[in-house]
Structure 1
């Protein structure tokens, strides 16, 4: 899996490519933990994400707790 992070002002875009599963979800956990406190909004782009397991969904939910309400979006879900 590849994780591409792009910062624009106070919004972070995280594009995921490949498979988000038990073996790759710790990589996403690390990237989420490294998000600066100045970031107010996070947007996940799933355009090139081929597969997501329950372990991957758990990491998305952890991020959702950190960025509640309209501060987190998931786009390009197939």
Structure 2
């Protein structure tokens, strides 16, 4: 499952950055666009974060997760 990173900007100045689950993505973007309209200089920069690979270690106690590498993909904002 992927999640999203949303950056809220006004006149290209970063105001806030949010991490949003896939389950709440549509609701959150709709609410942000309603409260921060483009006509007032606000823009949303949205990236989808997807798991690229997991880094594991195998030892006497079994497998251990050392880390996860993610890929960020830009999501285009509708006009």
- Shorter-chain TM-score: what band? 0.3 to 0.5
User: Larger Cα Rg: Structure 1 or Structure 2?
Assistant: 2
More strand by share: 2
TM-score using structure 2 length: 0.35
More helix by share: 1
